[in-house]
Structure 1
Amino acid sequence: MPALGIIVVAAGSGTRLGHPEPKAFVELRGLAILEHALMGVFDSIEPAQVVVVAPESRLAAARTIARRVAGPADASVSVVAGADSRQGSVLAGLAALAPEVEVVLVHDAARALTPGSLVDRVVRAVRSTGGGVIPALPVADTVKRVADGTVRETVDRSDLVHVQTPQGFPRAALDAAYAAATQEYTDDAALFSADGGTVTTVEGEARAFKITTPWDLRRAENVLGARTGGLRTGLGFDVHAYDEADPLWLGGLYWPDEPGLSGHSDGDAVLHAICDALLSAAGLGDLGSRFGTSDPRFQDAASEVFLKETLALVAGAGFTVVNVSVQVIAARPKIAPRRSELEVHLTTLVGAPVTLGATTTDGLGFTGRAEGIAVVATALLSGS
């Protein structure tokens, strides 16, 4: 088990954000705020046990998001129910950590754009100091002390900072501080200090601002839009075996008198490869992590469903499809007689030019033995 634990607090109501759903589940450029926050966590270097603390009513959604972001590291993530207060939610997260965890980071999901480099910075500082560590940025604005609407004095800002998360602590000392707490504190550093712990700072990140109001949400959208500028390419690949018992759907078209393709859905390898290429280019994972075979909703589903959802995710992440190129590798069906029809249909589905080619492997491999189909796709996206 990792020696690092990261508690991601996502149990807040988000009333000030003006949405009916909890804040962490509000959409930001096509993805939930929680998903963006977890992507930053998983961009960090050191393996960690990640505990997501979510509202009781959103545990299933939180688990789905966490598994999707974690991918092959999904065994390191767990989801627990939060409490009525932030302090109670952190306590629930602490209770879910494995005994082997020695360093704990507490992170607010609302700081959705926090980069993995800041997580690494805090972890290193906790290990080097042996105490609590918080990211901080200097206060740039002039600060006034006001009473009854009247300015009383200008406050010296030289020793003032804005505090962010993740905040890091030695596990044993943080557990003791929580056990001793008799009141609510505004953050974990204050609680830790109240129990006699020493807290130092590391340099924060401008992108780690907290999404609290609609203005903050729009600011986050703008930051993501700037980050995704330029061109991005992605590669997709899919393979399916023939199944004589099923109809063949390929490229969104029906192919009569041809063996179908086995799969959880309709097995359309062309659409699956296109989805993979689009997700890859946008940095949104892959088809398996987005529409896994364990999800009964996609049993025998038409693959156009996956493509529509993929295109929505790509657009939500701030990208526009420039073009897609597809190469089918198969002994059958013969693609050439329907190539133009396929390209027109796929171009309509994708909303951008799609070109399609086909080849065989001259009798070599499983495609050469006519056991199945392989498809390679590439996608070019432009940041909006």
Structure 2
Amino acid sequence: MTETLYDGYDHDLPAALGIVLDEDRGSLPYSLIHGEALVACAAWALGEAGVTPLDSGITWDAVRRSEEPVVMHDALCPMTPADFIATCVRRALDDDVVVVATRPVTDTVKRVADGMVGETVDRDALTSVVSPVVLPPSVVSAMQDEPGTDLVALVATLARSHRVVLVEAPASARRVTSAEDIAILEALTAG
């Protein structure tokens, strides 16, 4: 079950590390929204939240030894509010859980069996992973390998051995998949 978690910005957030995911996403992270690259907007949101973006030269072993939470932020969710990111980090630390931001699924989803389109899936039973995914220090230290770039696969793997909490993200945190999606998000976040 997805819960709502959005109680405002925390200026006293403990140290946290952030990874902006732009690999395996084609050229879309370098498209512009409000005149800036999506990847830049995502990095700025981490910084405004009090999260230190990781340099690409830092090894995963060094991250594991830092004993800090890690915020996975998809460049395709460039307008995720900084205060929402900070709130997710606080929740991961306070409850020692993996916090996964989600949005409701609004598309019609059909089952396919034997090449035939079948029944419609109840959207209320579905959720879409967006940003951020926050890993508490206990999870980071237990991960021998880097988390990778596929947030859905990461969440599925972590859910087998760690407590995962789904939280509903604001509409501005939606994930974009095309130039049309960027135009919609830009209109949604204008002003």
The TM-score with structure 2 as length reference comes to 0.75
Q: Does 1:123 align with 2:103?
A: no
Q: Does 1:219 align with 2:184?
A: yes
Q: How far does residue 200 in structure 1 lie from its aligned partner after superposition?
A: 1.0
Gaps of 5+ in 1: 15-21, 52-78, 82-91, 229-384
User: 3-state SS of the aligned residue for 1:114?
Assistant: coil
Q: Is the 8 A contact 2:129 2:151 kept in 1?
A: no
Q: How far does residue 155 in structure 1 lie from its aligned partner after superposition?
A: 2.4
> Which residue in 1 is equivalent to 2:52?
49
User: 3-state SS of the aligned residue for 1:219?
Assistant: helix
1:27-176, aligned counterparts within 5 Å? 27-44=32-49, 47-51=50-54, 79-80=55-56, 94-95=60-61, 97=63, 99-147=65-113, 150-176=116-142
Q: Deviations over 1:226-257 (max 9, x none)?
A: x22xxxxxxxxxxxxxxxxxxxxxxxxxxxxx
User: RMSD value over aligned CA atoms?
Assistant: 2.9
2:53 maps to a residue whose letter is V
Q: Is the 8 A contact 1:105 1:167 kept in 2?
A: yes
CA distance, structure 1, for counterparts of residue 74 and residue 62 of structure 2: 17
In the alignment of these two chains, the number of paired residues is 176
Does 1 or 2 have the higher relative contact order (CA < 8 Å, sep 6+)? 2
Give me the identity figure in percent.
Answer: 28
CA distance, structure 1, for counterparts of residue 123 and residue 85 of structure 2: 26
Q: Does 1:201 align with 2:150?
A: no
CA distance, structure 2, for counterparts of residue 186 and residue 39 of structure 1: 23
CA distance, structure 2, for counterparts of residue 166 and residue 193 of structure 1: 16
Q: Deviations over 1:311-342 (max 9, x none)?
A: xxxxxxxxxxxxxxxxxxxxxxxxxxxxxxxx
Instruction: Classify 1:210/1:104 alpha carbon distance in 2 versus 1 (closer, same or farther; 3 Å).
Output: same
Q: Is the 8 A contact 2:103 2:128 kept in 1?
A: yes
Q: How far does residue 100 in structure 1 lie from its aligned partner after superposition?
A: 3.6
CA distance, structure 1, for counterparts of residue 39 and residue 112 of structure 2: 36
CA distance, structure 1, for counterparts of residue 35 and residue 45 of structure 2: 16
Q: How far does residue 133 in structure 1 lie from its aligned partner after superposition?
A: 1.1
Q: Deviations over 1:95-127 (max 9, x none)?
A: 453844421111111211111122022112212
Q: Is the 8 A contact 1:105 1:168 kept in 2?
A: yes
> What is the aligned counterpart of 1:191 among 126, 134, 157?
157
Instruction: Classify 1:209/1:94 alpha carbon distance in 2 versus 1 (closer, same or farther; 3 Å).
Output: farther
Q: Is the 8 A contact 1:136 1:162 kept in 2?
A: yes
Q: How far does residue 174 in structure 1 lie from its aligned partner after superposition?
A: 3.0
* Higher radius of gyration, 1 or 2: 1
CA distance, structure 2, for counterparts of residue 220 and residue 159 of structure 1: 25
Q: Is the 8 A contact 1:34 1:109 kept in 2?
A: yes
Instruction: Classify 1:179/1:29 alpha carbon distance in 2 versus 1 (closer, same or farther; 3 Å).
Output: closer
CA distance, structure 2, for counterparts of residue 133 and residue 13 of structure 1: 22
Instruction: Classify 1:154/1:28 alpha carbon distance in 2 versus 1 (closer, same or farther; 3 Å).
Output: closer
CA distance, structure 2, for counterparts of residue 28 and residue 96 of structure 1: 33
Q: How far does residue 198 in structure 1 lie from its aligned partner after superposition?
A: 1.5
Q: Is the 8 A contact 1:185 1:191 kept in 2?
A: no
Q: Is the 8 A contact 1:103 1:169 kept in 2?
A: yes
Gaps of 5+ in 2: 1-13
> Which residue in 2 is equivalent to 1:6?
18
